Chains A and B, each alone.
Chain A
Amino acid sequence: MDGKRTKIDIIEDMLSSIINKGGHIKPTHLMYKSNMSHGQMKTYLEDLINKDLVKKSKKDDYDYILITDKGYEFVQKLKQMREFEKAFGL
């Protein structure tokens, strides 16, 4: 991606990383996949949980981040927005 990522770019990267991993991902993997620092991820993750786009879960003693239906819908809207941007050259 060109230049500095915007907030919406980071959120899109995070949600897409979870989807690419089948809908759930370990927090450390999410951090690496979406190119973020620990502090940055903590802030964004809290925001996404508050907005009900992702949720935390525990499986086999490991913490996982799960994408919600609302999260899937949001990614879909973002993809449409990107397509719209591309068509209009915005």
Chain B
Amino acid sequence: MAWEWFFGKDIFIDSISLVVLLLIAFFATKYYFVKKSRNYLFLALSFYSIALAFLCKILITFTINYRILHREVISSMQYTTTIVQSSEILLISGDLFYRLFTLIGLFLLYSIYERQSKANIILMTYLLALSALFTKDQYPLYYLFYLTTFLFLGIITHRYYQNYKENRETTTGMLAASFCIITLSQLLFVLKVITKSFYFAGEIVQLIGYISLLATFIMVLKHGRKKNKN
């Protein structure tokens, strides 16, 4: 399959997503210190957690590319084996942390809108840990992770759409649209099981989603300033 050309470009796409997430998390933290509200704290933690997940993913992708590069360049078999072994630990742990931080982040975001009882939190933590631990890429059940993120994001998008229906504000509508695009990207990642081209498509759709999230955020800041002048 000639999709290897895409190697490395996903690092760039994920880096953009990481910057957008950190930016929103930073502002949510700033607002949390002004208002001391639980919702702001959860929003900040959620975005930091997903950002951390992206950082893990970038490290994994970088490691994979590094391995491929070294296999091409180095002629000594002994040296190649050493590199593969040392990067294997990074790959496995990075992959696990990527899944864990993504699920924790999404659960925190979901918890802003759907209040959780203590029993629910314990049960959900257990289920999320299972989803993260037993859905590695090599396992036939790997798509369960993306199905879980798809479900979480679907519920959150629906909540944002309801919010838009209530206030009919452009920024609220844009936020719902951005999350809808990001949700769609998760569905494409699920389909990676059919052909790896879906991974490429998922990354592109995800990039569009995060860029529109950035545009929404810029608009929120501008809108606040404009209203202040009036």
Contacts and interface: CB of A to CB of B under 8 A. Distances in A.
Interface of A: 6, 8, 75-90
Contacts of B37: 90
B165 to A, nearest CB: 11
Interface residues of B, number: 27
Given A87-B220, A90-B39, 12 more contacts: A6-B35, A8-B34, A78-B34, A79-B224, A80-B221, A81-B31, A81-B35, A84-B28, A85-B31, A88-B175, A89-B160, A90-B112
B113 interface: yes
A83 B171 contact: yes
A76 B171 CA distance: 18
B35 A8 contact: yes
B40 A87 contact: no
Nearest to B230: A79
Q: Which of A8, A83, A87 is the most central at the interface, judged by chain B CB atoms within 10 Å of its CB? A: A87
Contact of A90 (B43, B171, B216, B224): B43
B118 interface: no
Contact of B167 (A76, A80, A81, A86): A86
B224 A80 contact: yes
A81 B28 CA distance: 9
B163 interface: yes
A79 B228 contact: yes
A86 to B, nearest CB: 6
A77 B34 contact: yes
A6 B159 CA distance: 26
B225 interface: yes
